[in-house]
Amino acid sequence: MVPYFTFPVFEVLGQTVSSFDIFVTLGLFFGFKAMLKYAQEHNLSEKTAYDLVFVAVITGFMVSHVFHGLFYEKPFSWKNIFFRFNGISSVGGMLGGWIGAYVYLQYKKQDFFQYLDGGMWAVVTGFFWGRVGCFSVHDHPGSLSTFFLAVDFPGGARHDLGFYEALFLFVLILIGRKWIMHKSRHLTFSWFTLVSYGVFRFLFDFLRIKNLPGSDARYVHLTPGQFVAIGFVILGLLLYRRKRLNG
């Protein structure tokens, strides 16, 4: 069983900084590096790759906040979107990031699919560090459990969904490192990531806490993340079909 731990919170220039903030910053840094490295190794424009990630981060952050306010905050209030910052949604951030990336590449008259594997590689790399940050503050507690990877929370051992997702994303990083370097496997990492992450997220969200403070909102017994996860699987299968048809 994994011991429960906490990191100290400190102030920098009057601003509170937590371990979550530090790991998210690392995620942004390594996500940028991953995209730029992909561009270099695939003869793509480094400037376009850099601008692409910058746009995706901005739109991803904006949509993650709006998505959280629309679907996670109960009762719903427009104040939660326009006047308060109560949280962000990871799946909302993914959606916003990809929408921003697509619009930007269309504007630049670039082939979206040429940058897709690199973008997916950057997302997985960045989100790995982000989920390590979630684990460091234990902000995604799950149901009580005796599983050997459960975290010994005060009051009883529980699943820690941030920890589980960090482990899953780390495995994706190991797999993807080999795939994205081979042009013959173009789009393989992207469709595999969409399908596997969608399945993972859909199943593991059933382990999240229910009817307790901090519980996720649910619609017909599913979290907002699970609905998006279904969409990820569908998109991944469509991408797989495209790859097969185009050889």
pLDDT tens sequence across 138-175 = 999 999 999 999 999 999 999 999 999 999 999 999 98
Q: Where are the domains of the chain?
A: 14-142+153-245
In angstroms, the first-to-last Cα distance of the chain is 46
Distances (CA, A) of 227 to 71, 86, 198, 220, 223: 11, 21, 9, 10, 7
User: For residue 233, what are the CA distances in angstroms to 112, 121, 180, 230?
Assistant: 19, 17, 20, 5
Provide the mean pLDDT of the chain: 91
Determine the pLDDT at residue 247.
Answer: 63
Confidence band (pLDDT; 50, 70, 90) for 5? very high
User: pLDDT for 8-65, tens place per residue?
Assistant: 998 888 788 999 999 999 999 999 999 999 999 899 999 999 999 999 999 999 999 8
Q: What Rg, from alpha-carbon coordinates, does the chain have? A: 18
Q: Does 216 score more than 60 pLDDT? A: yes
| Nearest alpha carbon to residue 13 among 5, 1, 21 | 21
pLDDT tens digits, residue range 71-99?
777 766 666 666 566 678 899 999 999 99
Phi first, then psi: what are they for 83, rounded to 5°? -125, -5
**178 and 166 in contact (C-beta within 8 Å)?**
no
